[in-house]
């Protein structure tokens, strides 16, 4: 998350040269940031919110800016699967079971690069590792000097996960989920 702050700062105008030199910046993802995994069942919707205090330390971000791209080195965010709160103890347990947290206790999101465009939105290229499987995504992101936000959809089957069924199969979880993030950032 903190590393995403750097992206916002960089895209917000702190770096204006199109140099291929490796840059380093310390950023902090503030605790008021949000990361939510949202999903639905055939009966209801659910939001599982990550405890941002678990990743709100200062991090060094290394990147190269070439033309309209920011390419990052090791911009990896790690989220403990037990750090998500779905609003109810049983839902938390079901969510952790779905993610196989006993075997894969961490979800990893790596920010590979960001393509900058004039205007409010840019395009981020990320790699997500969940339940031992890895998939790549590109998504629109909104950036400013103080935030980095966006959302993307993913299919849990792409990670080898099976949508759970409850109440003798009467309640079925949809395989499409949405990851929403609104990172509040601070340059350290």
CA dihedral defined by 3, 75, 151, 128, rounded to 10 degrees? -150
CA nearest to 39, candidates 150, 136, 180: 180
Per the structure block, which two tokens stand in for 144?
Answer: 């400013």
Instruction: Please give the residue that has the higher pLDDT: either 1 or 29.
Output: 29
Per the structure block, which two tokens stand in for 16?
Answer: 């204006």
For 153-182, the pLDDT digits (tens) are 999 999 999 887 666 556 788 999 999 999
CATH number at residue 18: 2.40.128.110
For 40-66, the pLDDT digits (tens) are 888 889 999 999 999 988 889 899 999
User: Please, which pLDDT band fits residue 20 given cuts at 50, 70 and 90?
Assistant: low
pLDDT over 90 at 136, yes or no? yes
Would you mind telling me the total number of residues written for the chain in this entry? 188
pLDDT over 70 at 17, yes or no? no
Range of the domain at 181: 2-187
CB 38 within 8 A of CB 45: yes
Percent of the chain with pLDDT over 70: 86
pLDDT over 50 at 14, yes or no? no
In the DSSP assignment, the letter for residue 174 is -
Is residue 59 helix, strand or coil? Answer: strand
Work out whether the CA dihedral 81, 82, 85, 91 comes out positive or negative: positive
Cβ count within 10 A of residue 35: 24
Is residue 102 helix, strand or coil? Answer: coil
For 21-42, the pLDDT digits (tens) are 899 989 899 999 999 999 988 8
Domain count, the chain: 1
């Amino acid at each position: 998350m903190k590393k995403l702050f750097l992206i916002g700062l960089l895209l917000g105008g702190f770096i204006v040269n199109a140099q291929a030199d490796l840059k380093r910046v310390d950023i902090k993802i503030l605790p008021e940031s949000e990361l939510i995994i949202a999903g639905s069942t055939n009966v209801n919707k659910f939001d599982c919110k990550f405890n941002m205090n678990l990743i709100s330390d200062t991090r060094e971000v290394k990147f190269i800016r070439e033309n309209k791209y920011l390419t990052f080195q090791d911009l990896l965010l790690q989220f403990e699967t037990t750090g998500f709160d779905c609003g109810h103890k049983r839902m938390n347990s079901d969510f952790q079971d779905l993610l196989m947290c006993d075997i894969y206790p961490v979800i990893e999101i790596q920010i590979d690069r960001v393509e900058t465009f004039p205007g409010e939105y840019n395009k981020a290229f990320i790699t997500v590792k969940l339940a031992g499987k890895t998939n790549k995504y590109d998504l629109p992101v909104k950036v400013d000097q103080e935030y980095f936000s966006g959302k993307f959809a993913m299919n849990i089957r792409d990670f080898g996960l099976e949508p759970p069924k409850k109440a003798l199969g009467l309640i079925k979880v949809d395989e499409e989920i949405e990851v929403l993030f609104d990172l509040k950032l601070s340059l350290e």
